[in-house]
Amino acid sequence: MAAAGSVRAALQVAEVLETVVSCCLGPEGRQVLCTKPTGEVLLSRDGGRLLKALHLEHPIARMMVACVSSHIRKTGDGAKTFIIFLCHLLRELRAITDKEKDSFFSENIQTHGRHWKNCCRWKFISQALLTFQTQVLDYVMDHYLSRHFLSIFSSSTKERPLCRSSLEMLLRAYFCGRVGRNNHNFVSQLMCDYFFKCTACESGFEEVLELVDDCFVELKVGVTGLPVSDSRIIAGLVLPRDFSVYCPADGDIRIVIVIETIQPPFSTFGSEFILNSEAQFRTSQFWITERTKAIMKYLQKQNVKLLLSTVKQPDLVIYCAGLNGISVVECLSSEELSLIQRVIGLAPLVLPQASSQYELSNTAMVKFCKPFILRSKRYVHLGLISTCSFTPHCIVLCGPVQGLVEQHQDALHGAFKMLRQLFKDLDLNYVTQASDQNCTSSPLIYKNSRESNDLPEIVNGSIQRPYQDTVVKNKDELAKTQTYLKAYSNLVVPSVELETNILCSTPTVTLTATYQTDATLRCFSPNKARIMDDHEPFIESNSANSTTENTRREISYENLQVTKNGRKGSILPVRDKSLEMCTSQSYCFSSVPAGCVLPVGGNFEILLHYYLLNYAKKCRQSEETMVSMIIANALLGVPKILYKSKKGNYSFPQIYIRALHALQTNQPMISNQTGLESVAAKYRLLTSVLQCLTNILTIDLVINIKRQPQEIYDQDSDEEL
């Protein structure tokens, strides 16, 4: 069975989803109760989670959900806005086609030919959208919007001190959309306290965020049955298990980590132990006992007071530990182990072969280790002494039901993700955008590395010609690679291909383009500066370095290295280098610097709406005007919903008119909101939605297959492995 994939169908789906998510949007949003197949109940206001919980059947809906979840994975926020925005875009598109239909087709017959014609039209529009995203959006962001940006840092010096009050505002706005109404302030305060307690020094907060984001599950303790207000922050690390042996000790405590049983086993895997007599058995058992004792004695001599073990230790070890005054915690999970290792930088203990006398190398100190009782359940409480900028603290999250605890936990985790994104620079050119994606899909690189081997040659071959030809030809060539790039970005997984292309085009530019060509190039393309965004850094580097012949050679040499390495199939490290070069130089061109924020309440949307309309008025091409108008109008959807329940002076039309007036007269916009939100997150959201929309528009037919789903093996990656 096949169904026509059309905007109409997509809009229907999106509208249904919109009604579900819009009830949870913003500070006035409400909760949704989800049940799991196991019977557990979960409270949520997290758009991504809700969409997943719906288990949608409709193919277009599933595609939308997939797009949303990939966006969420990257940024940790914005699922609800995603759906609302997408829905409004589709609505605008339909409005346009309806208008056209009235004028062109008087008959209402859906012929086959018309369907295909329609599809062609959608294809055009989707291309226009893409051009918009790559050219207009970045331009508008950089030229107009950037003057409204605020920063979360209290000053713009190198060390970038964080401003506590603005961080609080940012977090409160975030939690307004994520947790229940009466807990906004409490949870955001808790998170803020936690963040500042964990950050030892001013500068290390990025490292802290990374660690907390990675290991958040280990850093929280959920407790049900207590009121939410009992949640608190505890210094040190809390492990959800009891001591196997606990020996109280004072002062700093020396610890070791073991990842195998201390008592040697009778036989190891793959070996045979042949017993020939009872005496042999007795002696071997005696040896095992003695050896275990010796090791424990040794540990005691080295003043070790706490043993952390990833495996269950035999009774004998526990007994000996107790005799030697060593506390033992068993069965640490690998995540806990890696967290502890990251915090204190301690490698697992390698058991000494003989009863050696040398000093134990792999030890660390903790301030305290004691049992910790929460709701009559026992935990291990460790006061780790951190070697990085993260000062270990744990959050105890309380709530009357598990569902609520989980909601708060998810919201906190998402908030850390969001902060992590916020403190990164967002480059507006397309190359670095791709590099972001690459970080998440690194295994794919191996897959495609072989393909990349051939590409340089092809491109190199094509370079030969323009080198001898005129400058104009050269420019054409560049434009060609440019379109090549753009065409690729259409795909769902463009990152890898893009990456290889960039790598290949890097040598082309630096090898062939002379200083003069660069200059002419720049003359040729002042209008299209945006398209050239990703090439600019290289042009720049050339113009900077071309004063002497030598340095340029160095560059080309380096680029040759790139291709060579590419052949070996290990693209990863080199790519980093070339990318670094590229980002560091494009920095001054166009980027949203780290920590950029705007007040909440649709400020970003209204601003962008205003400037897009302005832009649309100015531009000549009808396609571009249309797309800009569509996006500008769709942007207003979010603030409309946010102010739905407000009346009088705070209703949406009032706010909108006031904002427009302020913008026209160049006055500062006055906002009655106290929260802040990240600009980079909004920008990313916008681009993700546009990509999703182009995906939807390019589908012309949905084919329904009635067959058991099969597991898909990634054959290429299998080969590589």
Partner 1 sequence: MSRLEAKKPSFCRSEPLTSERVRATLSVLKGIVTSCYGPAGRLKQLHNGLGGSVCTTSQSAALLANLPVTHPILKILTTSVQNHVSCFSDGGLFTAILCCNLVENVQRIGLTPTTVIKLNKQLLSLCTSYLKSEACGCRIPVNFSSTQILLCLVRSILTSKPACMLTTKEIDHISTLILRAFLLIIPENAQDHIILGKSIIVPLKRQRVIDSTVLPGILIEISEVQLMKILPIKKSDSFKVALFCVSLSGDLSDTGEGNVVVSYGVSLEIAVLDQLLNLGRQLVSDHVDLVLCQKVIHPSLKQFFRTHHVIAVDRVGVAVMEPLSKVTGTRPIGSLDSISPSSYGSVKDLCTAKFGFKHFFHIIPNEATVCSLLLCNRNDTAWDELKLTCQTALHALQLTIKEPCVLLGGGCTETHLAAYIRHKTRSEPEGILRDDGCTQTELQLITEAFCSALESLAGSLEHDGGEVLTDGKYGHFWSVQADSPSVVNWPDLLSRCGCGLYSSQEELSWSFLRSARPPFVPQTCLPCEATDSAGNLTLDCFTAKLSGLQVAVETANLILDLAYVIEDKN
| CB neighbour list of residue 713: distance below 8 Å, 6 or more residues apart | none
Tell me, letter by letter, the H, E, C secondary structure of 108-122. Answer: CCCCHHHHHHHHHHH
At closest approach, how far in Å is the CB of 559 from partner 1? 45
Least CB distance to partner 1 at residue 378 (A): 11
| Three-state DSSP state, 397 | strand
Closest by alpha carbon to 662, among 590, 592, 603, 720? Answer: 603
Q: Hey, which residues does 596 pair with through a beta bridge? A: 151
Q: How far is the CB of 708 from partner 1 (least distance, A)?
A: 7
Contacts (CB under 8 A) with partner 1, residues 403-442: 403-404
User: Six-digit token pair at 324?
Assistant: 């030697």
User: Mask 360-389, x = binds partner 1 (CB under 8 A)?
Assistant: ---------------xx-------------
Tell me, residue by residue from 643 to 662, as one string, x for binding to partner 1 by CB under 8 A and - for no binding: --x-----------------
- The reply to whether 54 sits near partner 1 by the rule CB under 8 A is yes
Contacts of 613 (CB under 8 A, 6+ apart): 628, 629, 632
> For residues 53 and 96, which CB has a smaller minimum distance to partner 1 in the complex?
53
| Nearest residue to 698 via CA among 123, 130, 87, 14 | 123
Say how far apart CA 230 and CA 223 lie, in whole Å: 10
Least distance from partner 1 to the Cβ atom of residue 473, Å: 53
Q: Is 111 in the site for partner 1 (CB under 8 A)?
A: no
- In the list 39, 251, 461, 653, the residue contacting partner 1 (rule: CB under 8 A) is 39
> At a CB cut-off of 8 Å and minimum separation 6, what does 560 contact?
507
Confirm if 583 and 596 have CB atoms less than 8 A apart.
no
- The answer to whether 20 contacts partner 1 (rule: CB under 8 A) is yes
Q: Is 281 in the site for partner 1 (CB under 8 A)?
A: yes
Other CB atoms closer than 10 Å to residue 276's CB: what's the count?
Answer: 7
Q: In the complex, what is the shortest distance from the CB of residue 84 to partner 1, in angstroms, rounded to a whole number?
A: 15
Q: What is the dihedral of CA 93, 95, 98, 103, to 10 degrees?
A: -100
Q: Which residues contact 601 (CB under 8 A, 6 or more apart)?
A: 639, 642, 643, 655, 671, 672, 673, 675
Q: Measured from the CB atom, is 198 or 329 closer to partner 1?
A: 329
CB of 69 to partner 1, least distance (A): 15
Among 5, 26, 48, 180, binds partner 1 (CB under 8 A): 180
Residue 711 sits in the site that holds partner 1 (CB under 8 A): yes
Considering the rule CB under 8 A, would residue 179 count as an interface residue with partner 1?
A: no
**Interface with partner 1 by CB under 8 A: which range of 51-59, 138-146, 477-485, 688-696?**
51-59
The sheet carrying 393-399 orders its strands as 220-224, 393-399, 232-235
**Least Cβ distance, residue 682 to partner 1 (angstroms):** 25
Which listed range, 65-73, 88-96, 269-277, 488-496, lies at the site for partner 1 (CB under 8 A)? 269-277
For partner 1, the closer of residues 404 and 562 by Cβ is 404
CB 396 within 8 A of CB 234: yes
Pairing of strands 701-703, 232-235: unpaired
Residue 595 class from Cβ within 10 Å (0-12 exposed, 13-18 middle, 19+ buried)? buried
Q: Does 249 contact partner 1 by CB under 8 A?
A: no
Terminal C-alpha separation, the chain: 38
| 270 contact partners, CB below 8 Å, separation of at least 6 | none
Among 70, 166, 203, 224, binds partner 1 (CB under 8 A): 224
For 357-381, b/e burial (b = at least 16 CB within 10 A) is: eeebeebbbbebbbebebeeeebbb
Q: Which of 111, 289, 303, 547 binds partner 1 (CB under 8 A)?
A: 289
Q: Mapping DSSP to helix (H, G, I), strand (E, B) and coil, where does residue 676 land?
A: strand
Rg (the chain; Cα; Å): 30
Strands (E), 281-435: 304-309, 327-329, 364-374, 377-384, 393-399, 426-427
Q: Say whether residue 250 binds partner 1 (CB under 8 A).
A: no
Residues in 297-326 that interact with partner 1 by CB under 8 A: 314-320, 322-323
Specify which residues 390 forms β-bridges with.
199
For residue 274, state whether it binds partner 1 (rule: CB under 8 A): yes
Which CB, 41 or 701, lies closer to partner 1? 41
**185 touching partner 1, by CB under 8 A:** no
CB of 289 to partner 1, least distance (A): 6
Residue 423 near residue 595 (C-beta atoms within 8 A): yes
Name the segment binding partner 1 (CB under 8 A); options: 100-108, 272-280, 461-469, 594-602.
272-280
Examine residue 359 and tell whether it contacts partner 1 (CB under 8 A).
Answer: no
Token pair 């040794």 is found at 298
Q: Which of 108, 276, 357, 548 binds partner 1 (CB under 8 A)?
A: 276
Where does this chain touch partner 1 (CB under 8 A) — which range of 21-29, 106-114, 379-387, 616-624?
21-29
Which region among 81-89, 140-148, 395-403, 664-672 touches partner 1 (by CB under 8 A)? 395-403
The least CB distance from residue 280 to partner 1, in Å, is: 8
Minimum distance from residue 266 beta carbon to partner 1 (Å): 4
CB of 395 to partner 1, least distance (A): 19
Strands (E), 527-668: 591-592, 596-599
Which of residues 345, 352, 400, 443 is near partner 1 by CB under 8 A?
Answer: 400
Residues whose CB falls within 8 Å of the CB of residue 39, separated by 6 or more in sequence, listed in order = none
Binds partner 1 (CB under 8 A): choice among 53, 351, 529, 560:
53
| Residue 23 in the binding site for partner 1 (CB under 8 A) | yes
User: Applying CB under 8 A, does 709 fall inside the site for partner 1?
Assistant: yes
The footprint of partner 1 on this chain (CB under 8 A) covers a number of residues equal to 73
Task: Determine the 3-state secondary structure of 238 from DSSP.
Answer: strand
Work out how close the CB of 55 gets to partner 1 at its nearest, in angstroms, rounded to a whole number: 5
116 touching partner 1, by CB under 8 A: no
Q: Pick the stretch among 160-168, 178-186, 415-423, 476-484 that binds partner 1 (CB under 8 A).
A: 178-186
Closer residue to partner 1 in complex, CB, 507/601: 601
- Of 38-46, 141-149, 475-483, 498-506, which segment contacts partner 1 by CB under 8 A? 38-46
Whose structure tokens read 């693209």? 571
Instruction: State the CB neighbour count (10 A cutoff) for residue 201.
Output: 11
Q: Which is nearer to partner 1, 189 or 224 (CB)?
A: 224
